[in-house]
Amino acid sequence: MKLTARGRYAVTAMVDLAMHEHEGPTSLSDISDRQTISLSYLEQLFAKLKKSNLVDSVRGPGGGYQLSRSCREIFIADIVDSVNEQVDATRCAGKADCQGGETCLTHELWSDLSEQIHNFLSGVDLASLVGKREIQKIAKRQSAFQDTSLRSPDKSTLLPATQI
């Protein structure tokens, strides 16, 4: 498990994809514009995301990428792993000087901890991130209503508290 900007870009792009799911395929240039990520960098990321079966592609005009399955079935760990081809933390896996002694501590420890982090991120799905984002949007809109005193007397546009 490795957490760098590359993973951040990938997760962001996937959330963008999830948020525009209903509009059909999303082109990378759209994502590039919205999230200000270089187009060709996105291409590289999506090549990996596709290889990992996280997205499907549609070529030609009107084409783009789509989530391969529900955003409730795509987990952050999948995304990060997909673009971050994992480094070989076990480079001395079978070496002579790494037998039972404390030298192995390094790998044992980290691979164990790494697994814990991985398990954790395997429990966070795209839907939950999208959900949070949507909530923020709503909250923002609501406070905007309050701030500018533009709130309409019709309160039906505001979601009930239980839904937030």
Partner DNA sequence: TAATACCCGACTAAAATGCTTGGTTATTTA
Partner DNA sequence: TAAATAACCAAGCATTTTAGTCGGGTATTA
| Chain residues that interact with DNA, rule: CB under 7 A | 2, 4-6, 9, 25-29, 37-41, 43-44, 46-47, 50, 57-65, 84, 87
Does residue 87 belong to the site contacting a second copy (CB under 8 A)? Answer: yes
Q: Smallest distance, Å, CB 32 to DNA?
A: 9
Counted residue by residue, the chain has a size of: 164
Residue with smaller CB distance to a second copy, 69 or 132: 132
Q: Find out whether 84 and 2 touch, Cβ atoms under 8 Å.
A: yes
Q: Does 91 bind a second copy (CB under 8 A)?
A: no
Instruction: Quote the least distance from Cβ 62 to DNA, whole Å.
Output: 5
140 binds, among a second copy, DNA, none (CB under 5 to 8 A by kind): a second copy
Is residue 118 within 8 Å of 59, Cβ to Cβ?
A: no
Q: What is the DSSP letter of 160?
A: P
Asked if 129 interacts with a second copy (CB under 8 A), we say: yes
User: CB under 8 Å to 151, separation ≥6 — which residues?
Assistant: 145
Q: What minimum distance in Å lies between the beta carbon of 104 and DNA? A: 16
12: partner contacted, choices DNA, a second copy, none (Cβ within 5-8 A by kind) = a second copy
Shortest separation between residue 41's beta carbon and DNA, angstroms: 4
The one of a second copy, DNA, none whose footprint includes residue 100, by CB under 5 to 8 A per kind, is a second copy
- Amino acid of residue 7: G
- Output phi, psi for 88, to 5 deg: -80, 95
Task: Name the minimum Å distance from CB 81 to DNA.
Answer: 13
Residue with tokens 């498990």: 1
